[in-house]
Amino acid sequence: MAGEFDEIYQRSLTDSAGFWSEAAEAIDWSRKWDDVLDDSNSPFNKWFPGAECNTCYNAVDRHVEAGRGDQNAIIYDSPITGKQRIITYRELQDEVARCAGALRNLGVEKGDRVIIYMPMVPQTAVAMLACARLGAIHSVVFGGFAPNELATRISDARPKAIVAASCGIEPGRIIDYMPIVDEALSLSSHPVPNVIVLQREESPAELKAGRDHDWEDVMGASDAVDCVPVKATDPLYILYTSGTTGEPKGVVRDNGGHMVALKWSMKNIYDTEPGEVYWAASDVGWVVGHSYIVYAPLLHGCTTVLFEGKPVGTPDAGVFWRIISEHKVSTLFTAPTAFRAIKREDPDGKLLNDYDIGSLRTLFLAGERLDPDTLGWAEAHLKVPVIDHWWQTESGWPIASNCIGIEKLPVKPGSPTRAVPGYDVRVLDPSGNEVPRGDMGAICIKLPMPPSCLPTLWNADQRFVESYMAEFSGYYESGDAGYMDDDGYIFVMARTDDIINVAGHRLSTGAMEEVLSDHPDVAECAVIGVDDKLKGQLPLGFLVLNAGVTNDNDAISRDVVKMVRERIGPVAAFKSAIVVDRLPKTRSGKILRGTMASIADNKEYKQPATIDDPAILSEIEVALKSAGYAGK
């Protein structure tokens, strides 16, 4: 018998216009749409064409007008600096309106671009919302990105202004931002006449006369401005993601469809009510920060937590529990890598005993595959539902999830459950045919994709088609590989280029990692494919052990080799696992498997701009050489 989820999901595909038209009623429009969807020029589909709206108005002003101005909008908690700040919706409206006035005084108008190069401070969200208020297009660049990476984004977006902070603060170090901005501007082909600088007392910057403007000065000198209506199909922001050519791809997000999907997701996926405290422990530089630190919680009328810290080391592996306890967080969303770090430092969860986390109803995890071991650890210690869900920068909101606001489905470890309403997900073979249930293939989305998914790339329509639409006609290619079971549960096993070919057998590195992570001494792991003259490729494992492990490393390696042989079989040809202190990751927590494979095969590689700590690559190279790889 079909449940409530099945009925809603099927309607989202068979009556897409009716489904999203109803969802759009939760948004305030200054002009309603002519059509729900214009797919006459697919894949350049447009949601709610003809409609006019303003994202800032929906996220801030309407809550004040509805009498909820005294409700907390943002809780800023910085264990790195020891500072906290609470901002109500009325206070947020005032700051955003004056920031928009400051930008307008510098010549920023509707359609202009503004680069935001800021750390996890409330002013970052204020600047984003101020751009939305004016109808300007913001492009947030993760604070601390190298000058060349910032320069490429400046050259591509051609901003009229930059909003930056004097510095970012990491555990044990301060990163001065303005020297990076100065160098990026010298490298960029596009001159930027104005830079607003938020001076942080930990390391103020020397401002350049005529170009740089102190944040406090321009805020004090500006008048509040009203929201500017924009077309639903106008861009809200550009978010650059890594491209295979080395040039970043500017993912575009529209205003109308973005608001409709995010507002719908807060209740139906996350089961969160207006007024509750929602915490996405990520960074505004990533898509999670855009969608679920700033926009979705505020659109829904929640209180959002803006956290400047790390899951461990600020000061310990109990900081998440402190935040939940102190601010009465009901929903936590973070990456599996954060919980693996906590589990490694506090494998028995002893620090939980110091806090009351009774307000927490649900934990959501996304960003990397959620291995069953981490899932089980979180369930056992938090004693709340732990929901794996899968999405991408390009989608802007979840593609697959257990939609607990509709109907909580049974959890299957290793799966983010089923496709979210609006997404017609298929698993295809190289010829574009659906594979049998249980078989591995390319995970794709049948067009049209639902609201909030990217309508194109910034000034690169052809690249949009080539990157996502060319491989499978009529489908968006996600770049992820996996399978779907008989119940429609999706299993995302690896990036398409992480599928390795061992003697003609296509094998998932994710399936092997799942086995490795089951070893009681393993906190975190990764599997890559390395070149082999006989079999084409062979899998190689990397193990990070739990704190306090006393067992012999070689014995643990032998254990996991045996486990893979028993669970996957000799076909995997898994014969080697190396114990390392840590794995190279991006700042958002993704393991750099491709870079590790290049090191192992002694191939040239470009250090990823998003790497958290470049020094770790040298550590990996040493470990690989000791094990007989990396040129030996």
pLDDT digits (tens, 9 = 90+) for 367-415: 888 888 899 999 999 999 999 999 999 999 999 999 999 999 999 999 9
Q: Find the mean pLDDT for residues 77-102.
A: 98
Please give the helix or strand (H or E) that residue 339 lies within, else none.
helix 336-345
pLDDT at 139: 98
Q: Any idea what the Cα angle at residue 476 is, between residues 513 and 270, rounded to 5°? A: 65
Phi-psi region at 630: left, alpha or beta (left = phi > 0; alpha = psi -120 to 50): left
Predicted confidence (pLDDT) at residue 534 exceeds the cutoff of 80: no
Tell me the pLDDT of the chain averaged across its residues: 93
Which positions ≥6 away from 562 have C-beta within 8 Å?
none
Checking if the pLDDT of 484 tops 80, the result is yes
Q: Is residue 361's pLDDT more than 50?
A: yes
Instruction: Determine the average pLDDT of the residues in 565-589.
Output: 85
Cα angle at 510 between 509 and 512, to 5 degrees?
65
Cβ atoms of 64 and 93 within 8 Å: the answer is: yes
Per-residue exposure over 306-331, b if at least 16 CB sit within 10 Å of its own CB, e if not: bbbbbbbbbebbbbbbbbbbebbbbb
ω before 43 within 30° of 0 (cis)?
Answer: yes
| Opening angle at CA 452, ends 448 and 455, nearest 5 | 60
User: Rounded to an integer, what distance in angstroms lies between the CA atom of residue 72 and that of residue 466?
Assistant: 44
Distances in whole angstroms, Cα of residue 505 to Cα of each of 127, 486, 513: 50, 23, 17
pLDDT for residue 493: 83
Kind and range of the H or E element at 561?
Answer: helix 553-567
Question: Residue 626's pLDDT band (boundaries 50, 70, 90)?
Answer: confident
Task: Render pLDDT for 273-329 as a digit per residue (tens, 0 to 9).
Answer: 999 999 999 999 999 999 999 999 999 999 999 999 999 999 999 999 999 999 999
Compute the residue count for the chain.
Answer: 632
Q: What b-and-e string marks burial along 489-504, b requiring 16 or more CB atoms within 10 Å of the CB?
A: bbbbbbbeebbbebee
Q: 337: Cβ–Cβ under 8 A, 6 or more apart, which residues?
A: 367, 368, 524, 585, 589, 590, 591
Element (H, E) at 553: helix 553-567
Q: Give the residues across from 279 on adjacent strands.
A: 332
Question: What whole-number percentage of the chain has pLDDT above 70?
Answer: 97
Looking at per-residue pLDDT, the higher value among 159 and 624 belongs to 159
d(CA 204, CA 30): 42
Phi-psi map region of 396: left, alpha, beta (phi>0 left; psi -120 to 50 alpha): left
Q: With 70 as the cut, is the pLDDT of residue 503 above it?
A: no
Phi-psi region for residue 38, left (φ > 0), alpha (ψ -120 to 50) or beta?
beta
563: pLDDT strictly greater than 90: yes
Measured distance CA(491)–CA(500) in Å, rounded: 17
pLDDT digits 0-9 by tens, 34-76: 999 999 999 999 999 999 999 999 999 999 999 999 999 999 9
In whole angstroms, what is the distance from residue 370 CA to residue 368 CA?
Answer: 6
CB 305 within 8 A of CB 75: yes
For residue 498, pLDDT beyond 70: no
Report pLDDT for 297. 98
All structural domains of the chain, each given as residue ranges with its CATH number in brackets, are 419-498 (2.30.38.10), 503-626 (3.30.300.30)
The Cα 6–Cα 14 span in angstroms is 12
Residue 632 pLDDT class (50, 70, 90 cuts): very low
More confident residue, 343 or 533: 343
Q: Is residue 490 predicted with pLDDT exceeding 70?
A: yes
CA 543 to chain centre: 25
Instruction: Say whether the peptide bond before residue 315 is cis (omega within 30 degrees of 0).
Output: yes
Q: Which residues pair with 167 in a beta bridge?
A: 176
Q: What is the pLDDT of residue 497?
A: 63
Non-local (6+) Cβ contacts of 176 within 8 A are 166, 167, 203, 205
Prediction pTM value: 0.86
